[in-house]
Amino acid sequence: MENPLHNLKNEAAKLAMTPAEKSAMKARIFGAPSPQAAPKQSPYFIFSFQFVQARVLAPAMVLLVVFVGASTAGAAQGSLPGDFLYPIKVSINETVEIALATTPVAKAEVSAKLAERRVEEAETLAAQGELTAETGHALAANFEVHAENAKTLAAEVEAEDPAAATELRTNLESSLSAHSAILATLGGGTQANQDGAGAVAAKIASRTIASALPANAPAALMRSAKVAEPAEVTTMMAMSVTVATDTATDTDATVSLENDMIEEVPGSPEEEQRAAKLEMRAADALAAARVRFDAGKEKIDPTAITAVSGEFVGINRLMEQGSTTLAEGRYAEASDLFAEALRKSIKLDVLLKAQSKIDRNIITPVLEQSLIVDTVIEADLPR
């Protein structure tokens, strides 16, 4: 007896997309507009990327993954640009992830995750010295598409759940700030490697630097953040990380978080609830970073272990101060402290995750760089 599944696989192997459909898939992967107008539809349109993109029948993609093979899809998840399975990862696996996100919050989270994934791929290639300018620009374009989607979706969530929208933005901004410093550390080697890292770093910088700088930052620094070229991004990225992470007592450092919330009366139940929620979220993020640190400690350089331990001490201090002020009824101050602890925890977790994939020590230079730049910026700020 013939195996129906075997026959189906044989027939599927004969399917082919039209040139326009291939162009559309390539454009979707690399974030560029398709150069061709859509001609006559292929008779296999239901298997085409346009059909998937429209998500008329999202479950069809789940079935496609089954027919392609769960093992193949799983193997593709760890692939990098240039690998044979990378197109499956981007055009099938990630399309399924997007299709299965049914709520606005879930959609925003997926978009943010995919934006961060492109940056992580750039970091891995840069660490290997294999990030070319072409690949860097392609990853940067795809990152921009997903980051913009996440921003748009967070704005839609804002109307119904301001707290959730704020958390979405805070998580993404904190994560990207950490990736900025990581890329600045990895962006050496060949000129091609530098150009590739610079392309991705420039896109991150355009989204993080200006928003991370405090409102009273020098005008020249604000201008340079908006017009920085890729070659200048290395220094500017570190500045964005430092200003965002090392100003726990500066209310301007948390301006984006404050502005995204519903106006609250000091001492109100809403303000208390917000502080309590931030405390819980910060505690979860801190615990996640601690678990990652403990799991990978054996592979981390001793100097990096010391530096990370110091970061944990600082975050724990913020949490203790937040708990004290919360108990005293100073809810706004408690919120600021918990928000800063949340940002620091997310960034530390991102740094530890990147370190687990990279052979050389990146933790120490990233944290030292942040400390040095922080001293320079604070010296330039008006008192």
Q: Residue 317 in contact with residue 248, Cβ under 8 Å? A: no
In the prediction, which pLDDT does 375 show?
44
**10, part of any domain:** no
In which band, very low, low, confident or very high, does the pLDDT at 188 lie, cut at 50, 70 and 90?
A: confident
Which residue in 270, 261, 254 sits closest to 344, CA to CA?
Answer: 254
Q: Between these two residues, 268 and 228, which has the higher pLDDT value?
A: 268
**Predicted pLDDT of residue 259:** 39
Classify residue 183: in a domain, yes or no: yes
| Domain assignment present for 154 | yes
Mean pLDDT along residues 126-149: 92
Give helix then strand counts, H and E, for the chain. 18, 0
Q: How many Å apart are CA 126 and CA 130, to the nearest integer? A: 6
Local confidence band at 160 (pLDDT 50, 70, 90 cut-offs): confident
161 within some domain: yes
**pLDDT value at residue 253:** 34
Per-residue pLDDT, 264:
44
DSSP codes joined into one string, 10-65: HHHHT----HHHHHHHHHHHHT---SS---SPPTTGGGSHHHHHHTTTTHHHHHHH
End-to-end CA distance of the chain: 84
Over the stretch 90-125, which tens digit does the pLDDT of each residue have? 988 899 999 999 999 999 999 999 999 999 999 999
| C-alpha span between 65 and 50 (Å, rounded) | 17
pLDDT beyond 70 at 244 = no
Q: Which of residues 130 and 215 earns the better pLDDT score?
A: 130
In a domain, 318, yes or no: yes
CA angle 235, 239, 241 (to 5 degrees): 120
pLDDT confidence of residue 161: 81
Arithmetic mean of pLDDT over the chain = 74
Q: What is the pLDDT of residue 294?
A: 95
Task: With residue 154 as reference, give the H or E element that holds it.
Answer: helix 133-158
Question: Which whole number is the average pLDDT over 34-52?
Answer: 45
Question: pLDDT grade, residue 80 (50/70/90)?
Answer: very high
Number of domains in the chain: 1
Distance CA 279, CA 38 (A): 51
Q: Which residue has the higher pLDDT, 328 or 269?
A: 328
Report whether pLDDT(85) > 80.
yes
Mean pLDDT value of segment 22-27 = 58
In three state form, how does the secondary structure of 79-99 look?
A: CCCCCCCHHHHHHHHHHHHHH
| pLDDT at residue 274 greater than cutoff 60 | yes
pLDDT of 290 strictly over 90: yes
Q: What is the distance between the alpha carbons of residues 4 and 120, in angstroms, rounded to a whole number?
A: 40
In a domain, 214, yes or no: yes
**Residue keyed to tokens 């990370």:** 308
191-241 pLDDT tens trace: 888 888 888 988 888 876 545 444 444 444 444 444 344 444 444 444 444
DSSP codes of every residue in 197-249:
HHHHHHHHHHHHHHHHS-TTS-HHHHHHHHH--GGGHHHHHHHHHHHHHS-TT
| DSSP at 303 | H
Q: Does any domain span residue 189?
A: yes
Residue 6 domain flag: no
158 pLDDT band, cuts 50/70/90, is confident
Average pLDDT in the 140-146 region? 93
**Per-residue pLDDT at 29 exceeds 60:** no
Rounded to the nearest angstrom, the gap between the alpha carbon of residue 343 and the centroid of all alpha carbons in its chain is 13
Comparing 4-18, 77-91, 188-202, the range with the smallest average pLDDT is 4-18
Task: Give the best-scoring range by mean pLDDT among 32-41, 156-165, 303-312.
Answer: 303-312
Q: What is the mean pLDDT of residues 132-137?
A: 92
Calculate mean pLDDT across residues 19-41.
52
Q: How far apart are CA 317 and CA 309, in angstroms?
A: 12
Residue 353 structural domain: 101-241+296-380
Instruction: Supply the pLDDT for residue 220.
Output: 44
d(CA 61, CA 113): 20
